[in-house]
Every structure is written in structure tokens, then in C-alpha cells.
Amino acid sequence: MSFIEYREVRKMSDPSPNVNISLVSFTDLVKALREALGLAGDVQKIVASTSQAYQRFKDRKAARQLGALSFPPDETRQYLGRIANGEGTPEDFEAIRRRLSETGGEIESCIAGLDKYSDVIREKFGLEVAHKWTDLIHGYDGKASIRFALEMFAEQGDESFYDAAAVAKEAGWILESIDSLNHRLVEMHDMVLGLGEK
């Protein structure tokens, strides 16, 4: 049997030509591949969207924690203001001690959370901002230092031998430190949430 005869016999015994099967299979394969790539693109969009939503959740949590570190105008600042003006009473010192005691656990929890978030700050805003972040919490005039200074300061209310002028001056210094801290907290809060960005 010659090659031509063999080919003719082969064509007759095969109910569907190879060419059509190949084209249909190739077309189906292209469609399936196109759908798979589209699905992969959709999955990628969903994953990216979920990741962005989770990051936004972490950003908002950090912003809330920053807000918790601030000193509102009433409460401790109010008592310090009276003491700085020379009008403080033992009750003002007691109110400061009570407030420090009431907020201690929450502040420690916020500080721990913000310490964990510092890597996000470094990655998003750079090392310089990460150092400012750490100083805001643990630096000389950071939240932890001011709380410690307040604890030491509040103990003076129980002693009558402290110089009233020196106590008033110290209260004024702590108030200035609090104002500076609050200002920096607002800046970091707004930066974390992307407020003011265009």
C-alpha cells in the first residue's frame, strides 16, 4: 500500500477529520484560557481590595489609639491649669492621680498597639517619620514620659513642704509638654488616615 492509499483509507475510517477537532479544541482552549485569566484578574482585584480594606482597618485602629493618647482640655489639663496659676488644691492633685489610675490600662494597651504599628509607619512614610513616631510614644516629651512626670508631680500634693512657685512652674512645664504632644498626635493621626492628601 502506498502512502497516498494509506492516507485515503485513514480518512475514510476516521469519522471526524483531525483538522476540525484541532480547531475546535484550540478555540475551546483559548476561550477557557481567556476565562481563567479573567477569573484570575477578578480574584486578584478581590484580594487587593480585601488587603486594602484590612490595611484601612489597621490605620483606623492606630488613629483611634493615637486619639486615646491625647489629653483633652478638661480633666488633667484643667487641674494642671489651676495648679500652674497658683490656685491648685489637694483635690486637684488627687484628681490627677485618679485619672492616671483610671486610664493606665487603656494607655498601656494603646502604646503596645502603636509600637506594633511602627513597622507600617516605617514602610509607608520612611524611617524619619518612624523615629518621630517612636519619640511621640517613648521620647523625652512623649506620652510615656509625660505620664511618668504626671505621676511624680501628683505625689507632691500630699506634701506641704514643696515650694508653691516651683510646683506651679512644673505644672506649667507639663502643660506645655502636653500641648506639644497633642499637636504632634494630631499631625500623626491625620497622616495615618491620609487626611489632607490630594
pTM of the full structure: 0.72
Report the residue count for the chain. Answer: 198
Range with the lowest mean pLDDT among 4-13, 35-44, 68-77, 147-156? 4-13
pLDDT band at 1 (very low <50, low <70, confident <90, very high): low
Is residue 13, in this structure, part of any structural domain at all?
no
Residue 53: the pLDDT is: 82
pLDDT band at 6 (very low <50, low <70, confident <90, very high): low
Neighbours of 32 (CB within 10 A): 10
**Quick one: cell of 60?**
483606623
C-alpha torsion 182→188→190→191, nearest 10: 160
pLDDT for residue 21 is more than 60 = no
Range with the lowest mean pLDDT among 10-24, 67-81, 175-189? 10-24
Is residue 135, in this structure, part of any structural domain at all?
yes
Is residue 25, in this structure, part of any structural domain at all?
no
Is residue 187, in this structure, part of any structural domain at all?
yes
Q: pLDDT per residue over 139-180, tens digit each? A: 999 999 999 999 999 988 656 667 888 899 999 999 999 999
pLDDT for residue 187 is more than 60 = yes
* Residues of the chain above pLDDT 70, percent: 77
**Quick one: cell of 113?**
498597639
- Number of domains, the chain: 1
Q: pLDDT per residue over 90-117, tens digit each? A: 899 999 999 999 999 999 999 999 999 9
80 contacts: CB under 8 Å, gap ≥ 6? 92, 96, 171, 174, 175, 178
Segment 56-83 mean pLDDT: 91
Is residue 126, in this structure, part of any structural domain at all?
yes
What is the span of the domain harbouring residue 74?
57-193
Residue 122: the pLDDT is: 93
Rounded to whole angstroms, how far apart are CA atoms 68 and 174? 18
Query: What average pLDDT is seen over the chain?
Result: 83
pLDDT for residue 3 is more than 90 = no
68 contacts: CB under 8 Å, gap ≥ 6? 106, 107, 110
Is residue 103, in this structure, part of any structural domain at all?
yes
Query: How many alpha carbons lie under 13 Å from residue 94 in its C-beta half-sphere?
Result: 4
